[in-house]
Chains A and B, each alone.
Chain A
C-alpha cells in the first residue's frame, strides 16, 4: 500500500540540511511525483539539531515521516545520525557524514556525553550505517560547502531519481562558477555506494 518513499535528512543548524532537502524535493517534483517536505525553521541557524522530512510518491498525505518509517536517513553529522536512528525502518540505510560536531553545551552535560564512536553505537542498535567521508573529500576538492553535494551524490544511489535530474536541480541551486566542482562532488559521492 505504501508507495511513498521517506527520506529523513538530519544535521546541525548551518550545515545545509534544509538546502539538501529542497534539492531532493525539487528533483522528485521534476519527475512528476507528489512531494511533501517538512521541517521547523527558527532555530536552524543557531547551532541546534535540524531535521527535514521529504516524502514522495504517487500521492502523499502526511507531511511527516512516521517514527520507524524512514527508508533512508542522510545524516550530516555522526551524533545526529544516532539521535534520529530510531526513525529508520528495519531495512533502511543510514548514510552518515564522517564528522563530529561536539555541542558547546556538552561540557555542562551531567548525563549523556558525546559518544567516542558513534558508528559503533549505530551498529549496536543493529542499524545499517554507511560512513561517507564527505567532509574530508570536500576539503580535498577545496571547498567545505561541497560536502552537501557529495552527500546528495551518495543518497542518489538509494533513490530512483535519474542522475540527470539530480544534476539539473543542483546546478540551478549553486553559483555558476562552481557547477563543474559540484558535478565532481556529486560523482565522488555516488562512488561511495554501489
Chain B
C-alpha cells in the first residue's frame, strides 16, 4: 500500500518488517520520530534510554541475546555512544544490529553539523545512505542482512532533509522471516581484554574486506549511464538534487558508502569524460575517489558548510561551467523582520531566567528549550556545548577563581539524567561553589515531549519507578537542595540569592510542568489596565508572544502594551517585572460577564 512517510517513519516501518523486536534510543532531532513510530507497532519492545551510550549498550545486549535490534540517535548522540561502538565492531554480534544516525546538515536543531559517515569509517561499520523514504524503508532490511552476514553493526545514515521529508513508500503488510537465535557464551569474541581484542581487530579488517566485495556487486549501487560527457558520483539526498539539475548526465549513485566499491568507481570513471562528486558536508566520497588515483571535482565547487539545496547546487555547478536545469532564480530574500522561536507563553523557564537576571549571576547553559534564553530579550546564557556541559563549565569557571559574580548552571530534567549526574558528582567531590538549577518541566520538551526516567512513565506507556532528583542530589552529597515552583517568583528569587551564600554546591529543583507536554496546561489570561501602563517595555523584555504592542501611547510617549487572551496563560512573570502594577487578573465580575 502506498503511503506518504517521513524518513523516520519509513525506518520504523522498515525495521518492523525486517523482524526487529527491540529498539532503544534517546530522543534527538531529527531522529526522535523513529522510536515514537516504532513503539506503536505490534509485538515489539521499545524504550527510551537515559542517553545514547546506554542505548547502544542495551542494544548490544539484545543483539547478543539473538534479537534483531535497532538503535537510533541524532548525529551528536553517536559521540556519546562512541565508546561501546568503537569496540562493538571488533566483537561483532549474534542477531543484527543497526544504528540509525540522523545527521543535521545546516544545524536546523543542533550545536554542530558533523558528518557521521566519517564515524562509520572510523569505527569500521558498513554504512548505508538512503536518498528518500522508500530507500530508507528498503535499506533497513538490507542493513540487517548485512549485519548478520558480516557479523558487524551497520550504520544507516539519514539527514534532517530525509528524516523529516515525506515521500511515497510502498509499505508491505507482511514481516520478513528471520532465523531464531539464542545467546551463547564466547569470551574470545565478547570479552575485549587485550589477549582477545588483538585477534578481533584483525578479524574486523577481514570482515570489512568481505563487505568490500559485497559493495562491488550490491543492488544498492546503481550506475545510470546517459551522456558520457559528464559523470556524477553521489549518495543520499544529494543524489536527488543532482538528478533533478543534471537530467542528462551519467550517475553512479551509491547506497552502500562504507566500504566504497573501488572497482565500480574505477569502471564508472573510465566511462565518463568529466567526473563530479556531489555530496553534502565533508569530502567523504571525494577523498576516497582521489585516493584511488582518480581525478574528480568535488568540494572545489560545492560547500563543506550546510545543506545542499537546488539553488546552491545550481550556483555551484555554474562556477565550474556546468549549466544546470534550474527553473528558479537564486535571489536573496528581502531583509525582513526576523521571527525567531521563543519560549512558549507560560513556560516556567522564563520565570527562572527573569529571576536570574535580577540577581546578575553568570549563567552557563545546556541543551533544551531553555537554550533560547541566550538570545534577546533574555540574553542570560554564556555557553551551550553539549548535553550536560553546563555543570562542568560552571565548576571550571568557579575553580578558575577569577569571577566575582555568583556562578549558575541551568540544566533541564531530561538533560540532567542524560549527562548531568556525573557533572554534579564532580561539583560535590571538588567542592565547587556554584548553584545548579535543574529546570524540571517533567518532560523532554524540545524534542516534542518524551518521557524519561524522572517522569515515571516509559515509551510504551507503562508506569515506571520515578527517579527523584532531591533524593539523588542528597545521595551524591549535595548539602543544600531546594525544591521550588519558579512561578512563585518572590520566593524563587530569594532562594536563588540564598543559594549564592552557601559554601559548596547548591541545587535548586525548579519544578513546573511544561506548557505543552504531556498535556496543554489550563489558562487564566491576565489583562493590562491601560490607564496604568506607562509603556516602559519591561514586560516585553521577558520575551513572551502573548504581549503585544498597541498603537496607543502613554503620557511618556511610549507605546502601551496589551495581552492576547488566546495566548496568555496567567503565569504572572510579566506582572512581576511591571513597576506600575498594570498587569492583573481581570476582576471577578468581568470574568462572570464574559
Contact = CB atoms under 8 A, between A and B. Distances in A.
- Which of A34, A48, A61, A109 is the most central at the interface, judged by chain B CB atoms within 10 Å of its CB? A61
B164 A47 contact: no
Contacts of B165: 36-39, 63
Contacts of A85: 333-334
B325 A67 contact: no
Interface in A71-127: 79-80, 82-87, 89, 102-109, 111-115, 121, 125
Nearest to B369: A46
Contacts of A144: 566
B541 to A, nearest CB: 8
A116 to B, nearest CB: 11
Contacts of B342: 46-48, 103-105
A9 interface: no
B167 interface: yes
Contacts of A79: 336-337, 339
- Which of B132, B165, B240 is the most central at the interface, judged by chain A CB atoms within 10 Å of its CB? B165
B344 A103 contact: no
Contact of B337 (A40, A63, A103): A103
Nearest to A21: B166
B543 A66 contact: no
B149 to A, nearest CB: 31
A33 to B, nearest CB: 9
A193 interface: no
Contact of A35 (B4, B329, B547): B4
Interface string B535-571: 0010011011111110000000000000000100000
B338 interface: yes
A184 interface: no
- Which of A13, A60, A105, A112 is the most central at the interface, judged by chain B CB atoms within 10 Å of its CB? A105
B358 interface: no
A66 B376 contact: no
Contacts of A12: 339
Contacts of A29: 2, 4, 168
Nearest to B376: A108
Contacts of A49: 338-339
Contacts of B132: 36, 63
Give the top 8 A-B pairs by smallest Cβ distance, nearest first.
A69-B328, A68-B328, A66-B310, A68-B329, A48-B341, A66-B328, A46-B341, A61-B244
Interface string A34-68: 11111111110111110000000000111111111
B450 interface: no
Contact of A42 (B29, B337, B516): B29
A194 interface: no
A134 interface: no
A113 B168 contact: no
B411 to A, nearest CB: 19
A2 interface: yes
Given A29-B2, A35-B4, A103-B339, A46 B372 contact: yes
A122 to B, nearest CB: 10
A104 B543 contact: yes
Given A34-B168, A39-B164, A45-B516, A108 B337 contact: no
A38 B544 contact: no
A32 B233 CA distance: 31
A45 B344 contact: yes
A26 interface: yes
Given A46-B343, A85-B334, 9 more contacts: A41-B30, A43-B341, A46-B341, A68-B327, A80-B339, A83-B333, A104-B547, A105-B338, A109-B337
B321 interface: no
Contact of A37 (B30, B166, B244, B336): B166
A12 B329 CA distance: 25
- Which of B241, B331, B342 is the most central at the interface, judged by chain A CB atoms within 10 Å of its CB? B342
10 contacts: A1-B325, A25-B4, A29-B4, A36-B166, A37-B166, A39-B165, A46-B369, A66-B310, A69-B328, A106-B549
A62 B241 contact: yes
B223 interface: no
Interface residues of B, number: 64
A182 to B, nearest CB: 21
Q: Is the interface of B mostly helix, strand, loop or mixed?
A: loop
Contacts of B547: 104
A11 to B, nearest CB: 10
B339 A64 contact: no
A112 to B, nearest CB: 4
Contact of A47 (B109, B339, B376, B548): B339
A29 B544 CA distance: 39
Nearest to A53: B165
Interface in B303-345: 309-311, 314, 325-344
A60 B326 CA distance: 14
- Which of A107, A114, A115 is the most central at the interface, judged by chain B CB atoms within 10 Å of its CB? A107
Nearest to B8: A41
A85 B331 CA distance: 10
A68 B311 contact: yes
Contacts of B527: none
A34 B162 CA distance: 16
Contacts of B164: 38-41
B166 A25 contact: yes
A85 B329 CA distance: 12
A155 B343 CA distance: 32
A129 to B, nearest CB: 14
Contact of A65 (B108, B161, B310, B329): B310
A189 to B, nearest CB: 22
A28 to B, nearest CB: 9
Interface in B147-191: 160-162, 164-168
A104 B540 contact: yes
Contacts of A45: 344, 516
A64 B309 contact: yes
B376 A105 contact: yes
B288 interface: no
B413 to A, nearest CB: 18
A40 B244 CA distance: 21
Contacts of B207: none
Given A63-B165, A105-B376, A41 B309 contact: no
A129 B331 CA distance: 19
A35 B109 contact: no
A114 B339 CA distance: 10
- Which of B161, B244, B326 is the most central at the interface, judged by chain A CB atoms within 10 Å of its CB? B244
Given A89-B328, A102-B548, A41 B166 contact: no
Contacts of A2: 327
A48 B340 contact: yes
A13 B548 CA distance: 17
A7 B245 CA distance: 19
B84 interface: no
A67 B331 contact: yes
Nearest to B335: A112
Contacts of A65: 310, 328
B340 A83 contact: no
A38 to B, nearest CB: 4
Nearest to B325: A1
